[in-house]
Amino acid sequence: MTAKLQNFAMGQWTPGSGPETEILDAVTGELICLAHPGGMDFEGMMQYARSKGNKALRKMTFQERGRMLKALALYLTERKEDFYKLSYRTGATRADSWVDIEGGIGNLFAYASLRRQFPDKPYYVEDEPVGLSKGGTFIGHHLLVPKEGVAVHINAYNFPVWGMLEKIAVNLLAGMPAIVKPATITAFLTEAVVREIINSGLLPEGALQLVTGTGEGILDHVTYQDVVTFTGSAKTGRMLKSHPRLIEEAVPFTMEADSLNSAVLGEDAVPGTPEFDLFIKEIRKEITSKAGQKCTAIRRALVPEKLVEDVQIALGRELAKTTIGNPLAEGVRMGSLVGREQLQKLKDQVAQLARQTPIIYGDLDKVELVGADAQKGAFISPIVMLNQDPFRYTDTHEVEAFGPVATIIPYKTLDEAIELTKMGKGSLVSSIATADAAIAQEFAIGAATHHGRILVLNNDCARESTGHGSPMPMLIHGGPGRAGGGEEMGGVRGVKHFMQRVAIQGSPTMITAITGVYQQGAKQIEKDVHPFRKHFEELEISETWVTHKHTVTEADIANFANVSGDHFYAHVDATSLEGTLFTGRVVHGYYILSKAAGMFVDPKKGPVLLNYGLESCRFTKPVYPGMTIGVKLTVKEKIGQEKRSEEDIAKGIVKWLVDVYDETGETVAIATIMTMVKKLNQDS
Ligand code: NAP
């Protein structure tokens, strides 16, 4: 019996219902499984995610969620070969699948590591506090807490694994569950990955559900605590974005849609330069990898007028080397599209484009294949077109032919090239191949308004460059206008899309209690035991050590000048002070800080392992010989660390507020320093 594509809803695998659709192997045309469009209780799924998944995830700290992602990434890596086997059936080569499968798992790893930029708490304290009063008794801060709903991700067919993992990595780290709706045609691969994720038992119940049917009605029950993301065609995106429920409930909707990405050959990058070769290689790669079914693929190659022929010849030569066919056959570099329906759509789009911009490489009806039959699989040859009049023939900038298709466009000046990139009305990415920093700067700033990402490609970075087509987990992925106006990933930025930001106001003591970070002016808790005698767990936020005092002398200045070699005039030459801010020889700022350390450090061997550095430091008032300074050392923040191995010492980083004040009580220097402190419990 033919397998049925399954949904994972409310803890159960279920095939859905309604008329069946055949899902075919993109290469051989063989039946893989049957999909059923409907029968899903979306309201029930949303409630289940909110009541189970959300409740569990929001209680976990960022560190716990991050470790969960890492464990999941390791678990899926062990099973990746099973995914590759299925991925071939989408028409993808091993290299294409690497981007989808290992790129997706890589995203899990990247977001797992990102936990280090978050506290060991379920919520996040953002940026610095804001002073709201003269006396310092009223301040503000920003907090982010996980939203109480579900992330609904509706994905395109081209990246069945990465498309899901790049999104859930982010919402899971933020503390929100997800319902994933992949495109039906390649959902069999997404289903296989979800099956493994569920089998792993690593995610809390309700953290992930899967819809493999059409998803019609999936937005009928979303609320303002949910987040919807969409990747796909602009047409579907616009239709979903105007769903009344999204408008009524003010539901955040992130869209990644069509994008007419461009690559520009700098005027300096003439044949014979490494940048010319890099440009050709990048265009070839973007046309052939994933058979051009990439949202970031280069659709428009902008070339200085006089170099059009050179580019045409060089690109043709490169493309001719590409072996097309069954991804499992030896030597094949380009596979097929995901299905014959997509193939027909692509042919129609190219035929439309070709009315204005003739095909100069490739043939819509002829393709030489290795190990495959063009009548059965969704194969097409790479197609290159030429647009001789790009300001008049505007289809090039409007029609996204989602396959191995690109158009060469001549330009006269860099201004014109920038203008042409903007005619895409907003794109995910643009590249420029140039070794000229002035060209790179002018292009990047000029084109920035219309792009989500700009890559400057030259010989210096080529070897390590991740390329035009690869969105990076720590950089934003998205683009304005036609590209959807959305923003995904981007490291910490992406996590915040799934959290509610709230401004909190109150006294420093209250804000300290809420944020778990000592705020200047908050009540300090003086203790009898020196904090350097205490282990990580024993230290309390706001705990303060008040030191003895020291009266600064001229000898201190002279000695410090000799030790440090800093003979700056204001410290050593009393005759040079006219017209300066100083009334006498001023003490070195770094002396104040060093002396402060000498005063607050407890020198005996103890739980403090090392000085980890300085996060911030300000000298707020000049100190002159004869003034007396003292220090208040306050525990500001504690960040636990994970053991790297069994033998590692269990420890954490402690941030200390160092307040150096003078005999009037006024602060003369304020710094945040960090120490590494041993934990009492060496098993944690
Ligand atoms: P699509 O036809 O727009 O479909 C996108 C997703 O929407 C699919 O999962 C589809 O499910 C779902 N969908 C359609 N109607 C729906 C409804 N009424 N309710 C809920 N879900 C619905 O796009 P595609 O053909 O899969 O992908 C190709 C397009 O995606 C290209 O145009 C490409 O530019 C774009 N794309 C953009 C990016 C980007 O980041 N900007 C990335 C990848 C792809 P079904 O498959 O079940 O219809």
Task: Dump pLDDT digits (tens) for 591-639.
Answer: 999 999 999 999 999 999 999 999 999 999 999 999 999 999 999 999 9
Q: Are 349 and 235 in contact, with CB atoms under 8 Å apart?
A: no
Pairing mode, strands 253-256 and 227-231 = parallel
Q: Whose CA is nearest to atom 38 of ligand 1?
A: 295
Together in a domain, 232 and 280: no
Same domain, 307 and 398: yes
Note the pLDDT of residue 331: 94
Q: Which atom of ligand 1 is nearest to the CA of 156?
A: 26
Does 328 lie in the same domain as 249? no
Residues 224 and 309 in one domain: no
| Residues 156 and 217 occupy one common structural domain | yes
Q: Domain for residue 430, yes or no? A: yes
DSSP state of 14: E
Compute the distance from residue 156 Cα to the ligand 1 centre, in Å.
4
Substitution candidate for ligand 1 out of 5, 154, 191 with most atoms within 8 A of CB: 154
CATH number, domain containing residue 235: 3.40.605.10
2 found inside a domain: no
Using a cut of 0.75, tell me whether the model's pTM lies above it. yes
Is residue 203 included in any domain, yes or no? yes
303 and 331 both lie in a single domain:
yes
Residue 659 C-alpha to ligand 1 middle, in angstroms? 56
CA–CA distance, 361 with 382 (Å, rounded to integer): 7
Per-residue pLDDT, averaged over 76-84, amounts to: 98
- Tell me the catalytic residues: 256, 295
Per-residue confidence (pLDDT) for residue 37, from 0 to 100:
82
Tell me what pLDDT residue 16 has.
Answer: 86
Instruction: Judge whether 578 lies within some domain.
Output: yes
**The tokens 């205490």 sit on which residue?**
534
For residue 580, what is the enclosing H or E element? none
Same domain for 170 and 205, yes or no, is yes
Q: How far is the CA of 400 from the centre of ligand 1 (A)?
A: 14
Range of the domain at 661: 524-678
The residues, any chain, with a CB within 8 Å of residue 313's CB and separated by 6 or more, are: none
Residue by residue, DSSP assigns 501-565 as: EEEEEE-HHHHHHHHSS--TTS--EE-SS-GGGS-GGG--TTEEEEEEEEE--HHHHHHHHHHH-
Tell me the two tokens of residue 439: 């060209």
Are 436 and 458 in contact by the 8 Å Cβ rule? The answer is no
Q: Which two tokens stand for residue 260?
A: 């007419």
Same domain, 238 and 387: no
Which CATH number is 423's domain given?
A: 3.40.309.10
Tell which one of 20, 99, 236, 398 to mutate to probe ligand 1, the residue whose CB is within 8 A of the most ligand atoms: 236
Expressed in angstroms and rounded, the spacing between residue 97 Cα and the centre of ligand 1 is 19
CA-nearest residue, atom 9 of ligand 1: 183
Ligand 1 atom closest to 479 (CA): 41
Closest CA to 684 of 63, 65, 173, 172: 63
Is the residue at 345 inside a domain?
A: yes
Among candidates 313, 310, 319, 317, which has minimal Cα distance to 288? 319
Give the nearest ligand 1 atom to 187 CA: 46
Position in ligand 1 atom list of the atom nearest CA 37: 47
How confident is the model over 318-372, as pLDDT tens digits? 999 999 999 999 999 999 999 999 999 999 999 999 999 999 999 999 999 999 9
CA 26 to chain centre: 31
> Whole-angstrom Cα distance, residue 344 to residue 684?
59
Residue 275 has pLDDT above 70, yes or no: yes
Mutate to test the pocket of ligand 1, among 233, 477, 488 (most ligand atoms within 8 A of CB): 233
Q: In the predicted model, what is the mean pLDDT of residues 163-181?
A: 98
Report the nearest atom of ligand 1 relative to the CA of 157. 26
Q: Is the pLDDT of residue 448 over 90?
A: yes
Q: Are residues 314 and 167 in the same domain?
A: no
Count structural domains, the chain: 3
206 and 281 assigned to the same domain: no
Rounded CA-CA distance 502/490 in Å is 21
Tokens 């790479």 -> residue: 382
- Give the amino acid at 210: L
Give yes or no for a contact between 385 and 359, defined as CB atoms under 8 angstroms apart.
yes
Whats the size of the chain, residue-wise? 684
Model confidence band, residue 683 (pLDDT cutoffs 50, 70, 90): confident
Which residues does ligand 1 sit against, CB inside 6 Å? 154-158, 181-184, 214-216, 218, 231-233, 236, 256-259, 295, 400, 402, 428, 483-484
Q: Domain for residue 125, yes or no?
A: yes
CA of 157 to the centre of ligand 1 (A): 7
pLDDT class of 1 with cuts at 50, 70, 90: low
pLDDT digits (tens, 9 = 90+) for 556-569: 999 999 999 999 99
Task: Kindly give the distance from the C-alpha atom of residue 61 to the centroid of ligand 1, in angstroms, as a whole number.
Answer: 33
Would you state the pLDDT for residue 2? 65
CA Rg value for the chain: 30
614's torsion region: left (phi>0), alpha (psi -120 to 50) or beta?
beta
- Indicate if 392 and 317 belong to the same structural domain: yes
Average pLDDT of the chain, as a whole number: 96
Calpha distance 142→114 (Å, rounded): 20
Cα 279 to Cα 356: distance, rounded to the nearest angstrom: 25
Residue 517 lies in a domain: no
When pLDDT is averaged across residues 544-548 and rounded to a whole number, the result is 97
Q: Across residues 223-230, what is the average pLDDT?
A: 97
Question: Residue whose CA is closest, atom 17 of ligand 1?
Answer: 216
Report the distance separating Cα 539 and Cα 531, nearest Å.
7
For residues 168-192, give the mean pLDDT. 97
Would 512 be classed as within a structural domain?
A: no
355 and 391 fall within a common domain: yes
